[in-house]
Amino acid sequence: MKAVLRGLRDYNVNSYTVILKSNEKKYCVVTISAKDYYTLQSESELMLIVDGMEIFTGVINKINFDYQNNKYTITLDELAYKLAIDYDLLKKSGSFDITYTSTTSDIILSEILANTAFTVGYVPIQTIPELKGDKLNRYEWLRLLADNCVCGLDADGKYTTIADNIVSEQTACDVWTVGNEIYIGVNGCTRSNKSSHTWNKKTCDITNAIIDIPEIEVNVHPVQKVIVIGKDGVTGEASVGTSPTIVITDDSCADAAACEKRAKDELSKQNKLASLTINVDPDLFYSKAIELGCHVTISEPAFIAGTYEIIEMEITQDKCSITLDKPKKRLETILDDLKRRVNLIERWR
């Protein structure tokens, strides 16, 4: 693969690593020949292009010189990070110590992007009870706002950014850019139109593209039963066995049905993989079959069969590593296999 870093001119790339993480700053590390330094000093925004395809666009955050190997290692941060380096601190009412109270997210984002080169692509219209920051740069404000905007599944099982329609799997929104537009929403999705609040997760079967599984972390003693005590002592429970059992107090659960739903959600959370990292065919990434936040399905090997969400990606010239989370069904085969292994260990003690 031929990779170049494109700015005022093209720089031949020796190697690159792209790191993409949900709800965190995305970045890319690129190495080029040291002879290009003087031109590089004039650069700001750079685009990593592999075989004619844009892979990552960002701003220079750091340049390290490797004297022994006569090369420069450049760290590019996601394009939105320009808000931190090209613009002053967000200022309101003559103070950098700002507190927003019961303010809608679109108003806050408009103030963050005011007098910058960025415009609003999408932000869910949600009322933020309180958002407080002391001397935060504009990028930090953007991340803080995204962390306080919520998304989740609606009654039809689709992702929504209308807070009142969320019935399960509520989580924080993420940030990304398209050109000079800032988006706060749900990663790895398509929408019917630019203003839609319903997000459809892209899904890809990666079974035949798995190269190896270098890391898997599981709970050896998964919770079998969850009891929830709600308001006024009302209770509800969910179980797949009897032991171990945990008890949760949640006053937001006003009736037995709410307690039971909370118990089911907690049981599902307790019995999911803590971490699953898989190396897959890089063509999945370069062909845009997978992306951060999308769903992937696995049918083999059986002990990890299920549907997951990509929460982290690391891409190099010849490797694509993805970290998965949130399996959409309880992995009973994993638990059975773990019990069998634990029994074998106990037997040989």
Does residue 342 lie in a domain region? no
Q: What is the pLDDT of residue 239?
A: 84
Which of helix, strand or coil describes residue 71?
strand
Question: Cis before residue 301, ω within 30 degrees of 0?
Answer: yes
Chain CA centroid to CA 287, Å: 20
Give yes or no for a contact between 158 and 200, defined as CB atoms under 8 angstroms apart.
yes
Q: Is residue 104 part of a domain?
A: yes
- Domain end residue (candidates: 35, 56, 79): 79
Read off the pLDDT of residues 178-204 as tens digits, 9 standing for 90 and up: 989 999 999 898 887 777 899 999 999
The strands making up 181-185's β-sheet, listed across from edge to edge, are 119-122, 181-185, 174-178
Please identify, among 79, 107, 128, the residue that sits at the C-terminal boundary of a domain: 79
Is there a domain that residue 341 lies in?
no
DSSP of 91-132: -BTTBSEEEEEEEEHHHHHHHHHTTSS-EEEE----EEEEEE
Residues 119 and 159 in one domain: yes
β-strands 45-50, 3-6 pairing: antiparallel
pLDDT for res 330 = 39
Q: Kindly state whether residue 338 falls inside one of the protein's structural domains.
A: no
| CA 24 to the chain's CA centroid | 7
Report DSSP state, residue 30: E
pLDDT digits (tens, 9 = 90+) for 40-66: 777 888 999 999 999 999 999 888 888
| SS3 at position 69 | coil
* SS3 of 170-185: EEECEEEEECCEEEEE
- For Cα atoms 184, 190, 193, give the angle at the middle one, nearest 5 degrees: 80
Judge whether 347 lies within some domain.
no
Considering the domain architecture, whether residues 264 and 318 belong to the same structural domain is answered as no
From first to last of its 349 residues, the chain has per-residue pLDDT tens of: 799 999 988 899 999 999 999 999 999 999 998 776 667 777 888 999 999 999 999 999 888 888 778 888 999 999 999 999 999 888 877 788 899 999 999 999 999 999 999 999 999 999 999 999 888 999 999 999 999 999 998 888 889 999 989 988 888 999 999 989 999 999 898 887 777 899 999 999 999 999 988 766 555 566 788 999 998 999 999 887 788 889 999 888 889 988 998 888 787 766 655 568 899 999 999 999 999 999 999 998 777 888 899 999 999 998 999 998 865 443 444 444 455 555 555 555 5
Total domain count for the chain?
A: 4
Residue 176 and residue 146 share a domain: yes
pTM for this model (two decimals): 0.75
Q: Which structural domain, as residue segments, surrounds residue 243?
A: 225-270
Beta bridge partners, 99, equal: 132
Domain finish residue from 79, 112, 145: 79
Task: Output the CA–CA distances (angstroms, integers) from residue 155 to 126, 149, 193, 200, in the order listed.
Answer: 19, 19, 21, 14
Q: For 49, phi and psi rounded to 5 degrees?
A: -120, 125
Task: Name, in order, each residue with C-beta under 8 angstroms of 50's C-beta and a sequence gap of 6 or more.
Answer: 1, 2, 3, 16, 286, 317
Q: How far is CA 130 from the centre of its chain?
A: 23
